[in-house]
Amino acid sequence: MADDLQEIVDDLAERLRRSVAIDDPSIRLLAASRHFGDEDRVRVASVLNRSVDAEVRDKVLAQGIAEWTGPGRLLTPVDGVRPRVCAPVRCAGLLLGYLWLIDPGSALDEKQLELAKDAASRAGAVLYRRLVVHERTQARQEAILWELVSSDRGIRAQAVEDVRAEQVFPAGARFQVLGVQHAGPDGGAAPQQVALEAAVEDASGNALIAANKSRAWLLFGRREAPSRRELDESCARLAARFGRLTRQSGQLVFGVGSVVDGIEQVAVSYRQAFLAARAARFVPSLGPVARWGELGPYELLLQMPADDLVAASHTPALDALEREASHAGFIATLERFLDNAGDVASTARQLNIHRATLYHRLKRIEQLTGCELNRGDDRLTLHLGLKMRRLAEGYRAETAPGGEAPRIRSVS
């Protein structure tokens, strides 16, 4: 008896002399038989692309086939597409896919429908075995991934040995972590937690993944590290999938850790990735994808304990400036001026004000803060103070009532 999807499909096709295909629950092709002159454009596109257009998929699923318990005839979803018989592929109460027969005119009789139902049942057993093996493998790999970034050195060391013993990665592989989080507070709403895990699993590509309710991360391990473009494309796929699952009610931010040369250094890339993701959350101007090594002063400040940073953010000079309610815009002016390294022309242009107006504001800022903007130490104090304030606002916003500001665990 055939025990492989392709054998099941080919056997049924030869018996019925009709095209047969099996898709997964998302209408992505798993196996297809040869054609018998009955193919249409949707079948050809499915074979070539391993999936169908989103419009066709949605119209097919809208007919409630996920609830079917036996073979049935599907209404033609779009013009120019031939009728089909759909037999749900199930095992152990789980919907694992769909078996399709093109039915161009000569209707299938009960005996033929029974053959299709039997083939779907056998396909269900095959897919269920695959699912069990996949879930066991995935669970084992995910457990190892979390152990690789544990704060306990002993656990990390054992995980490194396990990875090497199981030969999960090729010899000479280099590693990089892509961290993914909700743009809102850690944890997010329950639907977003589910959507995050589903989006990461659907769009992970060739990376290993680990996810929990508040964060997910992808580990790339191969001889050539992923390119910037590849990482950007991975982030775009994840964001698009997450948007569809949440109906655009949520947003993701991403952090990219540095490339490390050994599996024992994955914890370093992991920590960097989530510090970068935190920067993307707290400082929207960095964009939804923040890369370690490109964060400027935030790279240093994010490594401070959260409570220490919040305390240090109360710079007397900036507090004095903020107390002047009539000069609320001076904070933004000062930050833009310092970000531009004191370039008056660029700052005035970006703020859309005259240079004379800018000079007047800067003079008042000096009077209110007691600092001189032509002194390096004063500039540094004010600039770092502004950056710390930005991060401190983020920490305070995400701190649970009565709790401590969240921390990125040390891996030293």
> What pLDDT does 342 receive?
92
> What pLDDT does 175 receive?
95
Q: Is the pTM of this model over 0.85?
A: no
* Domain 173-296, CATH: 3.30.70.270
Query: If you write DSSP's letter for every residue of 379-391 in order, what string do you get?
Result: HHHHHHHHHHHHH
Query: Using an 8 Å Cβ cutoff, are 208 and 145 in contact?
Result: yes
Structural domain 306-398, CATH architecture: Orthogonal Bundle (1.10)
> What pLDDT does 264 receive?
93
Write out the H or E segment, with its range, that includes residue 253.
strand 252-256
Q: pLDDT tens per residue, the chain (412 residues)?
A: 345 899 999 999 999 999 999 999 989 999 999 988 888 888 888 888 888 888 888 888 999 999 999 999 888 777 778 888 999 999 988 899 999 998 866 678 889 999 999 999 999 999 988 887 767 767 788 888 899 999 999 999 999 998 888 888 888 899 999 999 886 554 455 567 677 877 887 666 678 888 877 789 999 999 998 999 999 999 998 888 888 877 777 789 999 999 999 999 999 999 999 999 999 999 888 889 999 999 999 999 999 998 999 988 888 888 888 877 555 588 889 999 999 999 999 999 999 999 999 999 999 999 989 999 999 999 999 999 999 998 998 888 876 444 444 444 444 4
Query: If you write DSSP's letter for every residue of 182-234 in order, what string do you get?
Result: ESSSTT--HHHHHHHHHHHHHH-TTSEEEE-SSEEEEEEEESSPPPHHHHHHH
Segment 318-323 long-range contacts (CB within 8 Å, at least 24 positions apart): 318/369, 318/382, 318/385, 318/386, 318/389, 320/368, 320/369, 320/370, 321/365, 321/368, 321/369
> What pLDDT does 189 receive?
52
* Domain 5-129, CATH: 3.30.450.40
Residue ranges per structural domain of the chain = 5-129, 173-296, 306-398
pLDDT 10s digits, 350-389: 999 999 999 999 999 999 899 999 999 999 999 999 999 9
